[in-house]
Homo-oligomer: A and B are copies of this chain.
Amino acid sequence: MNGPELRQDPTTKDWVVIAAGRAKRPHAFAESKPASSALTYDPSCPFCVGNEALTPPEVYRDNDTSGAWRVRVVPNKFAALTPDAKTERTEGFFRRAPGVGYHEVVIETPDHAGDLADLSVEHVARVLRAYRERQRALSLDPRVRFVIIFRNHGERAGTSLAHPHSQIVATPIVPAYMRRRHEIAERHFDDTGRCLYRDVQEAERADGSRLVEDTDGFMVFVPFASHVPFETWIVPHTLRPSFVLVTDEELDNLARVLRNSLRRLRACLGDVDYNYIVHSSPRKDEDEDYYLWHVQIVPRLTRPAGFEIGSHMSINTVEPEAAAEQLRAVRGEELS
């Protein structure tokens, strides 16, 4: 590269600084972190088998044939939003609204040490099915306007409990950021008659330099204007605005592709902290075919500093093409 460059994210119109000259070599990112638990059971963990009474009553349960649970969903004990919030709406200069919503925890496995990347594809599919069923259920409450599903892996990604879990939050407003993304997609549809995310997919496929895999109904790539090193998107071939609409067959394929993507990251970067997010259309727009649900994986290799917090611009020190090349090179044993 001839010095730093700016790249515009077509889905948000944000400019990202790609400054590979500033890069530390990837292994320099790795930080000493506490080894994950080797124990399959921790007596003080509220998500372990036998400690079910430590969580609020479950709202979803996936049993094996013996009646033992494989996946459980429970309300978050420290919920950011609750269905019965009594706070009042105020108007005027300082606008308040009740913190009404849902915050649930998906306990992905009874095994305290069973990381998602190590579960069977079939088990990952069960976790994904729990996501979809709960997103569907929460969307039935007319106060819910938006549902987001996410996973925090590692302390730098904001995890407080080691036992493998994901979270689902349902909010009574559409976050301004999601509204903007949605408006950009809507404008693109009005201008071109096409789905923006489909066009992103086709442009990435045509370019090819940032592709990681493109099979089984899903395309995996490192976006052109990745905000952070090794950011990875998983975008389905079949256009659906919301994750609530995915089929069982798609979930089975996604399970393999998602697990592959997490294993690729681990092969390149070690047991890196990351978040992933399942992005869907706002609840009322589930029929609008200009949006496309997708999974965004965000490794937490770098920390946002004053520039990023003050400008909301990102500085990415790894060229997306270089990250994709490394992820693509992971094969064989490391994936299966």
Contact = CB atoms under 8 A, between A and B. Distances in A.
B5 A99 contact: yes
A306 B95 contact: no
Nearest to A99: B4
Q: Is the interface of A mostly helix, strand, loop or mixed?
A: mixed
Q: How many copies does the complex hold?
A: 2
Contacts of A8: 95-97
A313 interface: yes
Given A175-B14, A275-B306, A87 B3 contact: yes
A15 B333 CA distance: 45
Contacts of A303: 155-158
B157 A305 contact: yes
A82 interface: yes
B17 A152 contact: no
A213 B328 CA distance: 55
Contacts of A45: none
B150 A305 contact: yes
Interface in A269-314: 275-277, 279, 296, 298, 302-307, 309-313
Interface string A170-213: 01110111100000000000000000000110010001000000
A93 B6 contact: no
A171 B275 CA distance: 29
A151 interface: yes
A114 interface: no
Contacts of A80: 4, 17, 19, 22, 307, 315
